[in-house]
Amino acid sequence: MRTGTTSSDPAGGGSVFADGGTSDRRTLVLTVPDWSAVAAATEHDLSPGTPVAVLSGGKVMAANAPARAAGIALGNNKRAVGYRCPEAHVVAWDEEADNRHFSAGVGALEELVARFTLLSPGTLAIPLDSLKHGYDDEPTAVEALISALVSVTGWEFFPGIADTVFAAVLAAGQARRVEPGQTTEFLAAQPISTLEYAGAGATELIDTFTQLGLRTLGDLADIDARDVNSRFGALGKRAHDLATGTKWTPLNDHVREERLNVELGLDTPTTRSDTLGFLTRQLAADLLTTVRRRGLVCTQITIELIAVSGQSSKRTWRIEDMNENTIADRLRWQAEGWLAGAARKGPAAPQLGSTPQFRSAPDEPGPDPEDFSEEGIIALGLVAAELTTPIGATKSLFDENTGQVTHTLERLQGLFGPDSVLVPGLQGGWDPAETNLWTPWQQAASPVRSPGAPWPGALHAPRPTTVERLPVDVLAAGGRPVGARPAGLESAPYAIRFPTGTAEAVIDYSGSWPVESGWWDPTKAIYRTRLQVVTDSGQALLLSKENGQWYITGRYR
Partner 1 sequence: MDVMSAVPLVEQLSREMGISTATALFDGPAPRAVDPVLAPMFRRGGLPRGEIVTLTGGQSLSCALAAIAVATQEQKWCAGIGLGEPAVSSIADLGVDLDHFVNLVTPAEDWLRVASILIESFDILVIDPGFLPSAGERARLLAKVRERKISLISLTSMPGSTEQIEITDTQWSGTEHGHGRLRSCLVQARSQTGVHRFLLPGPDGTPAEAPAPSSSEGVFERPVIRSVS
Write phi, then psi, for 332 (nearest 5 degrees).
-65, -45
Site membership for partner 1, residue 83 (CB under 8 A) = no
> Are 532 and 543 a contacting pair, CB within 8 Å?
yes
* Cα–Cα distance, 50 to 33 (Å, whole number): 16
Site membership for partner 1, residue 420 (CB under 8 A) = yes
Site membership for partner 1, residue 435 (CB under 8 A) = yes
Site membership for partner 1, residue 509 (CB under 8 A) = yes
Span of 5-13, 113-121, 332-340, 486-494 interacting with partner 1 by CB under 8 A:
486-494
Between 122 and 432, CB nearer to partner 1: 432
Q: Beta strand 466-476 with 439-440: parallel, antiparallel or unpaired?
A: unpaired
Site membership for partner 1, residue 360 (CB under 8 A) = no
**207: amino acid identity, one letter:** D
Closest approach, Cβ 508 to partner 1, in A, equals 5
Site membership for partner 1, residue 439 (CB under 8 A) = no
SS3 111: helix
Span of 198-206, 226-234, 265-273, 397-405 interacting with partner 1 by CB under 8 A:
397-405
Site membership for partner 1, residue 16 (CB under 8 A) = no
Count Cβ atoms below 10 Å from residue 365 Cβ, excluding itself: 9
Sheet with 261-270: strands ordered across: 261-270, 377-388, 297-307, 312-318
**Binder of partner 1 out of 151, 211, 404, 502 (CB under 8 A):** 404
Span of 163-171, 184-192, 329-337, 510-518 interacting with partner 1 by CB under 8 A:
510-518
* Cα–Cα distance, 543 to 533 (Å, whole number): 8
Sequence-distant (6+) residues with CB within 8 A of 383 are: 259, 260, 261, 301, 302, 304
Between 83 and 416, CB nearer to partner 1: 416
**Binder of partner 1 out of 65, 412, 444, 503 (CB under 8 A):** 412
* Cα–Cα distance, 186 to 204 (Å, whole number): 24
List the interface residues with partner 1, window 516-545 (CB under 8 A).
Answer: 532-534, 537-540
Q: Do you find a cis peptide bond into 462, omega within 30 degrees of 0?
A: yes
Q: How far is CA 248 from CA 65, 190, 245, in A?
A: 32, 16, 7
Site membership for partner 1, residue 292 (CB under 8 A) = no
* Cα–Cα distance, 413 to 417 (Å, whole number): 5
Closest approach, Cβ 511 to partner 1, in A, equals 6
Site membership for partner 1, residue 448 (CB under 8 A) = no
**Binder of partner 1 out of 18, 40, 467, 484 (CB under 8 A):** 467
Site membership for partner 1, residue 279 (CB under 8 A) = no
**Binder of partner 1 out of 266, 438, 444, 527 (CB under 8 A):** 438
> Are 260 and 388 a contacting pair, CB within 8 Å?
no
Q: How far is CA 149 from CA 15, 65, 120, 158, in A?
A: 22, 20, 17, 12
Between 198 and 552, CB nearer to partner 1: 552
**Binder of partner 1 out of 51, 250, 376, 464 (CB under 8 A):** 464
Query: How far from the centroid of its chain's Cα atoms is residue 310's Cα?
Result: 25
Burial class (CB in 10 A: 0-12, 13-18, 19+), 461: exposed
Write phi, then psi, for 325 (nearest 5 degrees).
-70, -40
Site membership for partner 1, residue 461 (CB under 8 A) = yes
Report the sign of the C-alpha dihedral through residues 270, 316, 381, 367, in that order: positive
**Binder of partner 1 out of 44, 215, 259, 359 (CB under 8 A):** 359
Site membership for partner 1, residue 87 (CB under 8 A) = no
Between 121 and 429, CB nearer to partner 1: 429
Contact string (CB under 8 A) for partner 1, positions 41-80, x = contact: ----------------------------------------
Write phi, then psi, for 265 (nearest 5 degrees).
-95, 140
Span of 52-60, 98-106, 330-338, 413-421 interacting with partner 1 by CB under 8 A:
413-421
Binding site for partner 1 (CB under 8 A): 358-359, 400-401, 404-405, 407-409, 411-412, 415-416, 419-426, 432-433, 435-438, 441, 459-468, 488-489, 492, 508-512, 532-534, 537-540, 554, 556-557
